[in-house]
A and B are shown apart, each in its own frame.
Chain A
Amino acid sequence: MNQPLLQVNQLKKYFPITGGILARKIGEVKAVDDVSFSVHHGETLGLVGESGCGKSTTGRVLLRLLEATDGDILFEGQSITTLSSKQMKKLRKEMQLIFQDPYASLNPRHTVEKILEEPLIVHGIKDKQERKKRIREMLSVVGLDSYHASRYPHQFSGGQRQRIGIARGLMTHPKLIIADEPVSALDVSIQSQVLNLLKDLQHKFDLTYIFIAHDLGVVRHISDRVGVMYLGRLVELTASDALYDEPLHPYTKSLLSSVPIPDPNLPINDDELLTGEMPSPSNPPKGCAFHTRCKECMDMCKTTRPVFKEIKPNHYVACHLYNDEQAHS
């Protein structure tokens, strides 16, 4: 099998909690706790989970906008966790981020041209004419007109701003795009335009996406494979259809059944309705992090952390239910 574009091994990111007058470390928030996955060239990996599950932190650690506490990240076979900031800067050309809030992520004092030009200057394209040409091309690719280049962000609607954010991410012709909730601030009718655009761009530029979102419908639509996170851990990872049609982890099951479906004829089904709320990541439950809300909770779930392993071909789950020897005893 060919080499994955991105390989993540046992990634951890702990944030210290400090207290007292000396600001000593008194605890830690395990935002990302032992997460492993790989992303193949040309595919879209969706990362879903509720707020505070660590999906955005994962995205940021992958780009080294945050330093990992432990674990390894391989981009095209090369470990990037130990690279110097100079080497990393070169590599960032290949991996770009698209942000959630198109209102906050564009500098209001810069014209669109300046916003789009910046990545080119940073990555050393010296010819001004060349830069202008690339900006014009990219604007038309994302569905804006060339006269938009001289305008300021406030003159655009939310959907258009997100197109500008996408254009900026694509300026350096990256291989990997990490999109952190790129459509969640948009209206439904605009959201579908942007999702279609992202799909078109993927074909056109041969892009690989890591798509971070909380909206499960959107993630199913765009992703080839989906990983579900809970309290900093991956609990299930498999092909999109398999995950949505036959979820294995109890958390995935309840998450999917919580999504309101636009069909009033469906019977009300509360079987999988989750009770309680997500525990604090600074003090996660022992054993399986989900056991406090799980209907299938067994004794061993309270003490032993389940291993994230392949249950079926390409279907990874971290749950004791699928632990053969234990389940039968």
Chain B
Amino acid sequence: MSDSYSNPVLDIKGLRTSFYTDDGEIPAVDHIDIQIHKGEILGIVGESGCGKSVTSLSVMGLIPSPPGRIIGGNILFNGENLLDASEKRMRSIRGNEIAMIFQEPMTSLNPLFKIGNQLIEALRTHRKWSHATYKERAIEMLNLVGLPRAEELLHAYPHQLSGGMRQRVMIAMAMICDPKLLIADEPTTALDVTIQKQILRLMRKLNETMETSIMLITHDLGVVAEVCDRIAVMYAGKIVEQSDAKTIFADPKHPYTKGLLASVPDIRSKTNRLFSIPGNVPKPGSIKRGCRFAERCQYAMDHCFEQDPDLYSFNNGKHQVRCFLYEKEGESAHESTITSS
């Protein structure tokens, strides 16, 4: 493991993605650092508008431009900076080395094409094989994701499948080129709990057998606890806390993480009153100065409204928190150098 830790599959350094609208610049992702190692599942958790999906689209080079633009930082994929890669190079990476699954299995499949056709589309682009080999691989993948009657399924249309089956097809499609990194953006949000459990198991199994690294984006803390090795909590475009999953749940440090964990009604016991974080999730770009969470934070001090806190680290940098409460306790973590493009 020590070897793979020195060379992460994905190394995002100081990424800044902004959208330019009539109301001015909106920094959706503001200086974030994320590393994903080989065979690791990283969960990115946050509420709507915190920038978690923009982060994943930045990695894929799919930020709609205009209005969006990546204005700073580096995205290193196996050492190669994706922000410098040509569109041709990006096309050879997308769906091949980095694959993505989306939230809506209903809208992500083309209703006019048969499943088999859509499954091997990525193969046709990235692998020059014979048609028989394509088909063989497609059947192999459908079996791998636990879909019965694979041969028949190749000739089915998306509307003939249920939501859970469609999401399995999406996963098969994403994994067909054996990617090194799989980005899953809310993969189970549209599914029922019993189906969600099946899909999460499947992702964990694929992660173990194929050693694929996974970036799992979700708002559901239960889901991250179930599958993730490490968790990054995002709030208003910044990562406010990052650590291994057990530490985040056992010893959350940032007031936002604490509040979020306390807000979830636990199925195991009945509480009379839920903790709730006051106020609303800020609109992206509405807070210009100071800690983004200060307004809603019960521990906020005067300088929280003036200055943006650094990342302070615990446990040899494995647990990082962006909060002035830990200014003295934690050592100041090394912030990556920011390069503007």
Which residues from chain A sit less than 8 Å from chain B, CB to CB? Answer: 50-51, 157-160, 187-193, 195-196, 199, 214-218, 220-221, 240-241, 244, 254-266, 270, 273-275, 277-278
With A189-B263, A262-B225, A263-B249 already in contact, the answer to whether A220 and B192 are too (CB < 8 A) is no
29 intermolecular pairs with C-beta atoms under 8 Å apart: A187-B47, A187-B48, A187-B281, A188-B219, A188-B221, A189-B277, A190-B281, A192-B274, A192-B277, A214-B193, A215-B265, A220-B265, A244-B267, A244-B270, A255-B193, A258-B193, A258-B196, A259-B267, A260-B196, A260-B200, A260-B222, A261-B266, A262-B221, A262-B225, A265-B246, A265-B249, A277-B164, A277-B195, A278-B192
Does B72 sit within 8 A of A, measured CB to CB?
A: no
CB of B219 within 8 A of CB of A187, answer: yes
Nearest residue in A to B244 (C-beta to C-beta)?
Answer: A264
Give the top 7 A-B pairs by smallest Cβ distance, nearest first.
A260-B222, A221-B265, A50-B192, A192-B276, A187-B47, A192-B274, A217-B265
Interface string of B196-238 (1 = CB under 8 A from A): 1110110000000000000000011111111010000000000
Given contacts A189-B260, A190-B280, A273-B198, 20 further A-B contacts (CB under 8 A): A50-B192, A158-B48, A187-B48, A192-B263, A192-B276, A195-B265, A214-B193, A220-B267, A221-B270, A240-B270, A254-B194, A255-B193, A255-B194, A256-B267, A257-B197, A260-B193, A262-B266, A263-B225, A263-B249, A274-B194
Q: Which residues of A contact B267 (CB under 8 A)?
A: 216-217, 220, 244, 256, 259, 261
| Complex partner residue of B47 from A50, A51, A188, A262, CB under 8 angstroms | A188
Q: Tell me the nearest residue of chain A to B195, going by C-beta.
A: A277
Cα–Cα, bound, A240→B274 (Å): 17
Bound together, the chains give a CA A196 to CA B250 distance in angstroms of: 25
Cβ of A258: which chain B residues have Cβ within 8 Å of it?
193-194, 196-197
Q: What's the minimum C-beta distance from B144 to chain A, rounded to whole angstroms?
A: 16
Chain A residues, CB < 8 A from B281: 157, 187, 189-190
Contact of A188 with B260 at beta-carbon distance under 8 Å, contacts A261-B268, A262-B221 already known: yes
Q: Which B residues are in CB contact (< 8 Å) with A257? A: 197
For A273, the chain B residues whose CB sits under 8 A away are 197-198, 201
On chain A, the residues within 8 Å of B273 by CB distance are 196, 199
Q: How far is the CA of A196 from the CA of B263 in the complex (A)?
A: 11
| Shortest CB distance B163–A (Å) | 8
Q: Does B264 contact A (CB under 8 A)?
A: yes
A220–B273 CA distance with the chains assembled, in angstroms = 12
- A residues within 8 A CB of B290? none
Taking CB atoms, residues of chain B closer than 8 Å to A262 are 221-222, 224-225, 249, 261, 264, 266
User: What chain A residues lie within 8 Å of B221 (beta carbons)?
Assistant: 188, 262
| Chain A residues, CB < 8 A from B12 | none
Say how far B221's CB is from chain A's closest CB, in angstroms: 4
Residues of A within 8 A of B265 (CB): 192, 195, 215, 217-218, 220-221
Bound Cα distance A240, B259 (Å): 25
A-contacting residues, B280-312, CB 8 Å: 280-281
A-side contacts of B259, CB under 8 Å? 189
Using Cβ atoms and an 8 Å threshold, which residues of chain A touch B224?
262
Q: For A191, A273, A277, which residue has the most chain B Cβ atoms within 10 angstroms? A: A277
Nearest residue (CB) in A for B256 is A189
Given known contacts A192-B275, A270-B201, A216 and B193 CB-to-CB distance under 8 angstroms: yes
Contact B192 A214 (CB under 8 A): yes
In the complex, what's the smallest C-beta–C-beta distance from B189 to chain A, in angstroms? Answer: 10
In the bound complex, CA of A257 to CA of B194 (Å): 9
CA distance A258 to B193 in the complex (A): 6
Among A50, A263, A275, the most chain B Cβ lie within 10 Å of the Cβ of A263
Interface residue from A188, A220, A274 paired with B263 (Cβ < 8 Å): A188
Give the complex CA separation of A189 and B266 in angstroms.
14
- Kindly report which residue of chain A lies nearest to residue B188, judged by CB atoms: A260
Closest CB in chain A relative to B87 CB, distance in Å:
35
**Considering only CB atoms, which chain A residue lies closest to B162 in the complex?**
A277
CB distance from A202 to the nearest CB of B (A): 12
Q: Does B240 contact A (CB under 8 A)?
A: no
Shortest beta-carbon distance from A188 to chain B in Å:
5
B47-89 Cβ-contact flags toward A at 8 Å (1 or 0): 1100000000000000000000000000000000000000000
CB contacts (< 8 Å) of B225 on chain A: these are 260-264, 266
